[in-house]
Amino acid sequence: MAPGFVEKIADALHLHHHDHHHEPPKESKSSPVFDSNKVTVVFVLGGPGAGKGTQCARLVQDFNFCHLSAGDLLRAEQDREGSTYGDLIKTCIREGTIVPMEVTIKLLEVAMLDARKDKTGLGWQDGKARFLIDGFPRKMDQALKFEEDLVQVCVSSLTIFFTTTEEVMLKRLLVRSETSGRADDNVESIKKRFNTYKEQTMPVIEHYQKQGKVSEIDSSPSVEEVHAQASEVVNKIFAGQSAPQLTA
Ligand SMILES: Nc1ncnc2c1ncn2[C@@H]1O[C@H](COP(=O)(O)OP(=O)(O)OP(=O)(O)O)[C@@H](O)[C@H]1O
Ligand SMILES: O=c1ccn([C@@H]2O[C@H](COP(=O)(O)O)[C@@H](O)[C@H]2O)c(=O)[nH]1
């Protein structure tokens, strides 16, 4: 990557006002921003409309996670007045393609640093930060870059993978389209999103599966049934993780 590229992205995203100058410059540092002993990262993946966001909302209530949806962060940036990347994000979302990883990772980094500041709030338990990262990583380059720059994905980290059929996902998304106002909740965009999911995201899931870090859950049943399964999986992650670690 060209030197200074990440800083240029940060400038364009107007992220320097967050006063993160205590953090080492991204391109010269050799270790990730977060210590994997002091944060728990659970990724949530699955096809468009599989129910990721719905289940994340439940898991936040159960486990006091800080929930970060990459799609929501991108939509907020797209709508931010004066955003350099607004048009690019808009096109990617409508076309169901993946926004260049530097943009998404920078947005995630800032959101994670902001969440980490509030040690008494949501996302803190037993002195550890708990992040539920929804709809990310969507592509292998993002998965590797996240590990390199933000958190070394450690033994206890896990991906919850919600699966159901395209037929179910399509039906759910078309129902959602009646109220969501999302530019990509239409048949044409949904088909493109299914293709991107199969071509780009499935290899990420297979990568984590090879490392034994994926819990697959059938998300075809009711929200409550799926939630019961997901809770069980997360309970296992936190079993044995109660030792207080007060700094991050
Ligand atoms: N188990 C379920 N049974 C029936 N409907 C569901 C279930 N889970 C979610 N839904 C509904 O399906 C739609 C899509 O769910 P949700 O937004 O959680 O999916 P998602 O995986 O986050 O989608 P995307 O990747 O497009 O953001 C929503 O309208 C939601 O209410
Ligand atoms: O890491 C990411 C996550 C999302 N996108 C883009 O956003 C849309 C919508 O994402 P949802 O998770 O369904 O809200 C997705 O189709 C991509 O275009 C991304 O580029 N990178």
Pick from 142, 30, 41: which is nearest to 97 by CA?
142
Residues whose CB is less than 8 angstroms from the CB of residue 12 and which lie 6 or more positions away in sequence, other chains included: 83, 84, 85
Ligand 1 geometric centre to CA of 124 (Å):
26
Domain count, the chain: 1
Helices 70-79 and 101-117: crossing angle, nearest 10°? 100
Relative to the alpha carbon of 96, which ligand is closest?
2
- The 10 Å Cβ neighbour count of residue 192 is 16
- Residue 123 has what DSSP assignment? T
Cβ 33 vs Cβ 109: under 8 Å: yes
Output the known binding site for a ribonucleoside 5'-phosphate. 75, 97-99, 135-138, 142, 182, 193
Distance of CA 188 to the CA centre of its chain: 24
Relative to the alpha carbon of 171, which ligand is closest?
1
Would you state the pLDDT for residue 170? 98
**Tens place of pLDDT per residue across the chain (248 aa):** 444 555 566 566 655 444 443 343 444 456 788 787 788 999 999 999 999 999 999 999 999 999 999 999 999 999 999 999 999 999 999 999 999 999 999 999 999 988 888 776 777 777 788 999 999 999 999 999 998 888 776 555 799 999 999 999 999 999 999 999 999 999 999 999 999 999 999 999 999 999 999 999 999 999 999 999 999 999 998 885 643 333 33
Q: 245 lies in a domain?
A: no
Pick from 33, 41, 32: which is nearest to 66 by CA?
41
Residue with the smallest CA separation from ligand 1 atom 23 is: 49
Would you state the pLDDT for residue 2? 47
Q: 24 lies in a domain?
A: no
Ligand 1 geometric centre to CA of 51 (Å):
4
Q: Which 3 state secondary structure label does DSSP give 24?
A: coil
Q: 47 lies in a domain?
A: yes
Q: 26 lies in a domain?
A: no
- Residue 37 has what DSSP assignment? T
Q: 14 lies in a domain?
A: no
Cβ 13 vs Cβ 84: under 8 Å: yes
What is the chain's Cα-based Rg? 18
Pick from 154, 137, 150: which is nearest to 202 by CA?
137
Cα–Cα dist 106/12, whole Å: 11
Ligand 2 geometric centre to CA of 242 (Å):
33
CATH code at position 161: 3.40.50.300
Cis peptide preceding 137, ω within 30 of 0: yes
Q: 137: exposed, middle or buried (C-beta count within 10 Å: 0-12, 13-18, 19+)?
A: buried
Would you state the pLDDT for residue 36? 75
Residue 107, domain extent:
35-239
Would you state the pLDDT for residue 173? 98
Q: Is 176's C-beta closer than 6 angstroms to any atom of ligand 1?
A: yes
Cα–Cα dist 12/133, whole Å: 23
Cα–Cα dist 221/185, whole Å: 22
Q: 146 lies in a domain?
A: yes
* Helix (H) or strand (E) segment spanning residue 43: strand 39-46
Distance of CA 213 to the CA centre of its chain: 16
Cβ 156 vs Cβ 39: under 8 Å: no
Q: 51 lies in a domain?
A: yes
Would you state the pLDDT for residue 238? 86
Q: 46 lies in a domain?
A: yes
Instruction: Enter the ipTM.
Output: 0.99
From residue 210, give the alpha-carbon distance in Å to each of 191, 205, 228: 28, 9, 25
Torsion of CA 232, 111, 8, 28, to 10 degrees: -70
